[in-house]
Structure 1
Amino acid sequence: MDWQLLGIAFITVFLSELGDKSQLAAIALGSSCNSPRAVFFGTASALLLATFIGVLVGQGTAEVLPERLVKAIAAIGFAVMGLRLLWPKSELSDVSEESE
């Protein structure tokens, strides 16, 4: 087993999940029930399943597309999402929302 890769994956996912909406949902569920153990196992298994699916999709993608292309697509996707968050709404979308 590649222990360095394991550590990098753990740290990356751990830090990205802190304050995530799934963690907030777990906090809400844990505070409103009498079985925190069930909430823990339910949320942990959901995260495991979602991660497993992501790894399988990533492995399948790596077999079909070159790594450099996948990284470029991911970078462009994150840049587009970041710009959309920073860019103010256009007046055209405001007009269409008002007519609904």
Structure 2
Amino acid sequence: MEAFLVSSGIVAIAEIGDKTQLLALLLAAKFRRPLPIILGIFVATIANHAGAALVGAWVASLIGPDALRWALAASFVAMGIWVLIPDKVDDDAAPNAPRLGVFITTVVAFFVLEMGDKTQIATIALAARYHDWLLVTMGTTLGMMVANVPAVLVGQAATRVLPLRVVHIVAALAFFILALLLAVDGIPHLLG
């Protein structure tokens, strides 16, 4: 039981302010469909954290931390630009679902963005510490849900109070700032 409780707590705390939590806000503001987003986060987290030990080690050995940092910075810029592209939606209608659907879009986006993330690394370390991948996976998944479900609900509510354009600009700025921070952090590694 300790593995479950410690895993839940560590990941819930680590996820606060993380890029995947920002993604939860963004998806909720863009698609205004919290249930498929929450279910998508759940499925992506289970898949990602259950395979964290194998996939995380494999990706890190292929890409390396410096290349991963720059790839994430570029993806944040791309996400920021994507947020600024207005939807072609009537004012009274909810946005159309993406071609793959809100659920599949969420699963793919969360799974990919979680690769190499601190919560994925924490999952690997916790599984090594407790030697119980199932309880650790269940705990880290609960931690992700504790942190991200409120983000989805806040993102959904924000679109009712604030103009959608303001939500998009704020989200884009957050992604651009994260990209800048990653780039600045990577400069010393480039200079050697």
TM-score by length of 1: 0.75
Specify which of 176, 180, 184 is matched with residue 79 of structure 1.
Answer: 176
Distance 2:181 2:136 in 1: 35
Q: How does 1:43-54 map to 2 (within 5 A)?
A: 43-54=140-151
Aligned residues: 88
Please list every run of 5 or more consecutive structure 1 residues that lacks an aligned counterpart in the other structure: 89-100
Query: CA separation of 1:87/1:34 partners in 2, compared to 1, >3 Å: closer, same or farther?
Result: closer
**Within 5 A, what are the aligned runs for 1:2-21?**
4-21=101-118
Identity %: 33
In structure 2, C-alpha distance between the alignment counterparts of 1:60 and 1:9, rounded to whole Å? 18
SS at match of 1:19: coil
CA distance in 1, matches of 2:133, 2:184: 41
Tell me by how many angstroms 1:81 deviates.
3.5
In structure 2, how many angstroms separate the alpha carbons of the residues matched to 1:32 and 1:85?
A: 29
Root-mean-square deviation (CA, aligned residues, Å) is: 2.1
Instruction: Tell me, in whole angstroms, the C-alpha distance in 2 between the residues paired with 1:67 and 1:53.
Output: 19
Q: Following superposition of structure 1 onto structure 2, how do residues 1-100 of structure 1 map, counting pairs within 5 Å?
A: 4-86=101-183
Q: Per-residue CA shift, 1:19-49, capped at 9, x if unaligned?
A: 1000000000101113222111100111122
SS in 1 for 2:130: coil
Q: Deviations over 1:35-71 (max 9, x none)?
A: 2221111001111222211111101111111111111
Cα offset, 1:78, TM superposition: 2.3
Measured at CA, do residues 79 and 24 of structure 1 come closer, stay the same or move farther in structure 2, by a change above 3 Å? same
What is the one-letter code of the residue matched to 1:23?
Q
User: Aligned partner of 1:40: which letter?
Assistant: T
* 2-structure distance, mates of 1:84, 1:27: 25
Gap regions ≥5 residues in structure 2: 1-35, 37-96, 186-192
Q: CA deviation at 1:85?
A: 4.4
